[in-house]
Structure 1
């Protein structure tokens, strides 16, 4: 495996880093987080769309960049470094990739062209309380050539700013996925309070009527679509966690060089140096596992085991790195107006999003047992 980036890929990541760094000064992030609304910067999102970054992996036929998952992962890393309040993960990963892969030509043309221009926000409602992803309680029954949906979805990211939501539901034939307009009759949202202030909602569907064109990929391909989305979503979250770890570690290293005790920088003390070294090793573990799974997905190879390994490291190591960053900073590390606190709460949020370390270790065990049989 060769994880080195091409010149074109590096140019994409440099562009993303420039836009995100310029658009996320500390004062701007605090302004958004203190406002009574979702953690979302429409101006920064617009710049991302104008630069062609939202549509990176959308086919060129739909005005996208036609890139692969490595490019998606690299941009997610830059978003993690800045904790930028934009719905790239929800739109590009949870929504657009599945529509590009499973959608018909009408769905691609009517949705992806706007997504590529940054004019449409997507998300997916994969999670229900205490229910496996492939066994939702949400029901879809056929009616007069269309569908009627009823059910409740939990922790739907960016739902209140999304234009459309991908909703898995159980039909008589099995699991299916539907494209639901956020403002459709019968759709209601309840904003949830989250650790990182990332916008998430409860989604309630009460007699939501959909046309036949809302079905994504056919009534018998729901499990395939959900597994497709979950794999790429977890891989993207690992890249986001990498960016969080890198930025937290860099901030901490710089702080320890300038913060003095007993007339010398605290970086000179062995206990601090050892903790920073451990954080560096953890960050490199997150990096290598995240890069591997992105490479496997881009190459079209089986990445199920690799993504669970990566998510385990992203969850466990991400927590350790940001926890160490807070402790080395001392009292300022828990100041909600200081950047290191933001990295910590994002790491804790990611720790359990779409399955925590324990769940993914269990999945690794099952895959090993299956391969040994």
Structure 2
């Protein structure tokens, strides 16, 4: 196992970081700190630079990079607390359409890679194990339809298509749905970092099967694992940048005539945070490496998401506590990293659900 970053990882991380540093300033984050936050300018810049298409196959205009390169990009977006759907539109949804879709579905993936459209997936189901059948039900008549409710669907307000896991005769399958259909209802939900997430209701909504019924479990597992790993990579970048801001604060802020960082209790909390982030970095890298190498990765991905939740909770609260009153001021940049960390902590399952799912995998 070699965790040395590839040249592509370093180049993509550098490019993404440079774009974010130019466009995502503290003032810009404050400007975007409203419900349904979406950074149109950053989204277009990432698309124009080829960052969005990097993970797509070459015949769809991409570079066919794997999970290691994808997590390198997401980590940089996490460092910027970027309000863009790169994870959901490209890493999760376009990836699945490119791998399992027909010609029309693959064309959607290519359009997502150019930033022309946004795609998303309805994955927030009760989490016990990766093979759980989804709560939404699909039936086949003259064509497939889906019925049920999905919660906290990211960017559903601007999505051209939503991937909807559903149950067919007790088995999982994944369907492509047009959210503009009259049978679809989208209701905005408020989440901690004000990201655009929606409760989406389907009532006999026309749908197209992604892949086949036989590959339904494989498609769903890939969707979930890429989403869990992607959230963990975003969390890694978020926590790294939050700790950098906190370290700088403790070097310059003084109490009793001394820098905050010179007090033992503060230094210990920052040391603990550094160790927690190191554990998350290792877990994310291991899971991404296993996926890239085509090895079984479910256990490693659950471990990464557990660390994202556990470290996320500890580090986020350390950041706020060390900043004191500044930490709860919505005009201070650290507020954006705290809310982002709390979102990534609980999205698609917190620490306990992923430990339970890991236990089920080990027992199985």
Q: Deviations over 1:269-289 (max 9, x none)?
A: 111111111111111111111
Aligned to 2:266: 272
**Does the alignment pair 1:87 with 2:81?**
no
Partner of residue 361, structure 1: 355
Cα offset, 1:56, TM superposition: 1.2
Using the alignment, how far apart are the partners of 2:138 and 2:260 within structure 1? 60
What TM-score, normalized by structure 2, do the two folds share? 0.95
> Is residue 119 of structure 1 aligned with residue 113 of structure 2?
no
Name 1:164's counterpart in structure 2.
161
Structure 1 Cα separation of the partners of residues 271 and 338 of structure 2: 18
Deviations 1:117-167 (A, max 9, x none): 1111111012246997732232222122x1222211111111112111001
Is the CA contact (8 Å cut-off) linking 1:175 and 1:220 kept in structure 2?
A: no
CA shift, 1:5, in A, is 1.4
1:199 to 180, 184, 196: 196
Q: Does 1:312 align with 2:290?
A: no
Q: CA deviation at 1:247?
A: 0.4
Cα 1:130–1:56 shift into 2, 3 Å: closer
Matched, 1:5 2:2: no
* C-alpha contact (below 8 Å) 2:94/2:113 kept by paired residues: no
Q: CA offset at residue 173 of structure 1?
A: 7.2
Q: Which runs of 4+ in 1 moved over 4 A?
A: 128-133
| 1:42 maps to which of 40, 43, 53 | 40
Question: Where does residue 240 of structure 2 map in the other structure?
Answer: 246
**Which of residues 322, 341, 345 in structure 1 aligns to 2:339?**
345
CA contact (8 A) 1:312 1:360 kept: yes
Corresponding residue of 1:287:
281
| Higher mean C-alpha displacement, 340-349 vs 279-288 | 340-349
Aligned counterparts, 1:208-247, within 5 A: 208-210=205-207, 214-247=208-241
| Cα offset, 1:181, TM superposition | 1.4
- Gapped regions of structure 2 (runs ≥ 5): none
Deviation at 1:327? 0.8
> Which residue is 1:330 aligned to?
324
* Other-structure match for 1:149: 146
Separation in 1, partners of 2:361, 2:172: 23
Q: Deviations over 1:274-319 (max 9, x none)?
A: 1111111111111111111111111111111111111111111111
What is the CA–CA distance in structure 2 between the aligned matches of 1:67 and 1:91, rounded to whole Å? 16
Aligned partners of 2:125 and 2:235: how far apart in 1? 24
* Alpha-carbon separation, structure 2, partners of 1:147 and 1:120: 24
Partners of 1:129 and 1:154 within 8 A in 2: no
Alpha-carbon distance in 2 for matches of 1:130, 1:317: 20
Is 1:99 paired with 2:97? yes
Q: 1:132 to 1:201 in 2, by over 3 A?
A: farther
- State the distance in 2 between where 1:89 and 1:83 align: 13
In structure 2, C-alpha distance between the alignment counterparts of 1:107 and 1:128, rounded to whole Å: 24
SS at match of 2:185: strand
Aligned residue in 2 for 1:187 = 184
- Alpha-carbon distance between aligned partners in 1 of 2:104 and 2:303, rounded to the nearest angstrom: 37
Q: TM-score, normalised by structure 1?
A: 0.93
What is the distance in 2 between the residues matched to 1:201 and 1:222? 24
| Contact kept in structure 1, 2:75 and 2:235, CA below 8 Å | yes
Cα distance, 1:368 vs structure 2: 2.7
Pairwise CA distance, 1:209:
2.4
Q: Distance in 2 between matches of 1:281 and 1:170?
A: 41
CA distance in structure 1 between the partners assigned to 2:5 and 2:237 by the alignment: 16
Query: What CA distance in whole angstroms lies between the structure 1 residues aligned with 2:13 and 2:182?
Result: 40
For residues 101 and 131 of structure 1, the distance between their equivalents in structure 2, rounded to whole angstroms, comes to: 26
